[in-house]
């Protein structure tokens, strides 16, 4: 997700979106996940020179990424959406009322894993498939994809608040899917979320997707395994808990009882509760369709008295 904290900081993006052609390019990339310049030019009935100009504007704004790959006819430039969500905060906030941290998906502090399970860096599998003991391997810090049929991953979130500051909202963004042996696009799984041990709600992943290759997957990743997930945004504030803007519970940030001394732990889990117990997969920067790990954003208020 691209988050624009104030209108002036989003000026380049707004300029890029001022062209109908560039919006059509973004729509095509959202539909096809990745296209080269010739494909885009053909679909939009434009010359290569014209499409190159539009692509340059979109790349400069951060809306798309371009990777070079070897195709049937030599080197080609593939275009991808950088993020699939754009949020603009129209309410002016003080710059020091927000901080962000991105945690590698392998930087969990606690876990429980039941096969099918495993983890991999951008270069190789860590250990063997379906061997939970490798979840304790020191190399797991560099994991870019983690999957388990049952269990949880827990992450420690840094708390940078000062004594005169209070939590207003915590946001967590991550790419998730179910976990099937191989992959299965229709494989619903109930995934639960916890903050400091308090259940804040759940989301049902529709499947473990693999009908097309993940945009950022390394070349060695086998095509018969899961390829990508869905980008989800969880928010907990004074009003309740939400995922992608939809309420998932009435648990508020006040009920968690947080202050500047609090430890912050976030757990993603498959439990014995769900009707659909089909595991979970979390994707890092070098896997799936979104170039991000676990992104955490903390908004807070300042007491000036």
The conformation of residue 172, written as its DSSP 8-state character, comes to: E
* The residue to which tokens 């595991």 are assigned: 279
- Between the CA of residue 167 and those of 39, 191, 292, what are the distances in Å? 47, 25, 24
CATH 1.10.10.10 residue window(s) in the chain: 2-86
Apex 240 CA angle, 262 and 179, nearest 5? 85
pLDDT digits (tens, 9 = 90+) for 101-123: 999 999 999 999 999 999 999 99
The pLDDT score that the predictor gives to residue 9 is 59
Measure the CA–CA gap between 187 and 203, rounded to whole angstroms: 13
Question: For residue 96, is pLDDT > 80?
Answer: no
The pLDDT score that the predictor gives to residue 32 is 86
Strands, DSSP E only, in 47-188? 64-71, 74-81, 86-88, 98-103, 110-120, 145-157, 165-177
The pLDDT score that the predictor gives to residue 1 is 66
The answer to whether the beta carbons of residues 33 and 215 sit under 8 Å apart is yes
pLDDT digits (tens, 9 = 90+) for 186-244: 999 999 999 999 999 999 999 999 988 998 999 999 999 999 999 999 999 999 999 98
Total residues belonging to the chain: 305
Measure the CA–CA gap between 167 and 298, rounded to whole angstroms: 7
Quick one: CA dihedral 208, 211, 217, 220, positive or negative?
Answer: positive
240: burial class by Cβ within 10 Å (0-12, 13-18, 19+)?
A: middle
Name the average pLDDT for the chain: 90
β-strand pairing of 294-302 with 165-177: antiparallel
Pick among 3.30.70.1530, 3.40.50.920, 3.40.50.2300, 2.60.120.260: CATH of 93-302: 2.60.120.260
Tokens (6 digits) for 53: 């100009």
The pLDDT score that the predictor gives to residue 282 is 98
Tokens (6 digits) for 135: 């979840």
CATH 2.60.120.260 residue window(s) in the chain: 93-302
Answer with the residue of higher pLDDT: 148 or 93.
Answer: 148
pLDDT digits (tens, 9 = 90+) for 143-172: 999 999 999 999 999 999 999 999 999 999
- Whole-prediction pTM value? 0.73
- Between the CA of residue 92 and those of 5, 6, 53, 171, what are the distances in Å? 8, 7, 33, 18
Tokens (6 digits) for 237: 């504030």
CATH architecture, domain defined by 2-86: Orthogonal Bundle (1.10)
pLDDT digits (tens, 9 = 90+) for 25-70: 999 998 888 889 989 999 999 998 889 989 988 988 889 988 877 6
The conformation of residue 184, written as its DSSP 8-state character, comes to: B
Question: For residue 93, is pLDDT > 70?
Answer: no
């Amino acid at each position: 997700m691209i988050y624009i904290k104030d209108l002036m900081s989003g000026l380049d993006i707004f300029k890029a979106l001022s062209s109908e052609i560039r919006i059509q390019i973004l729509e095509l990339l959202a539909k096809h996940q990745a296209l080269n310049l010739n494909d885009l030019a053909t679909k939009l009935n434009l010359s290569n020179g014209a499409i190159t100009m539009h692509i340059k504007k979109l790349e400069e704004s951060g809306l798309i990424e371009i990777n070079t790959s070897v195709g049937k006819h030599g080197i080609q430039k593939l275009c991808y959406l950088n993020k699939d969500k754009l949020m603009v905060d129209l309410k002016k906030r003080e710059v020091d009322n927000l901080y962000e941290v991105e945690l590698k998906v392998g930087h969990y502090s606690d876990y429980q894993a039941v096969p099918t399970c495993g983890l991999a860096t951008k270069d190789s599998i860590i250990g063997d498939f379906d061997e939970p003991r490798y979840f304790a391997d020191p190399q797991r810090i560099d994991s870019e994809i983690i999957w388990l049929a049952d269990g949880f991953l827990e992450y420690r979130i840094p708390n940078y608040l000062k004594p005169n500051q209070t939590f207003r909202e915590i946001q967590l963004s991550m790419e998730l899917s179910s976990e099937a042996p191989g992959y299965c696009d229709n494989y619903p799984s109930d995934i639960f979320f916890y903050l400091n041990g308090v259940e804040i709600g759940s989301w049902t992943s529709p499947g473990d997707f693999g009908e097309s290759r993940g945009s950022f997957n390394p070349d060695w990743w086998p095509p018969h395994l899961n390829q990508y997930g869905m980008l989800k945004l969880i928010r907990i504030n004074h009003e309740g808990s939400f995922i992608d803007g939809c309420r998932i519970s009435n648990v508020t940030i006040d009920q968690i009882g947080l202050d500047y001394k609090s430890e912050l732990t976030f757990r993603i889990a498959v439990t014995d509760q769900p009707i659909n117990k089909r595991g979970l997969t979390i994707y890092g920067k070098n896997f799936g369709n979104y170039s991000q790990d676990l992104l955490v954003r903390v908004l807070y208020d300042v007491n000036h008295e």
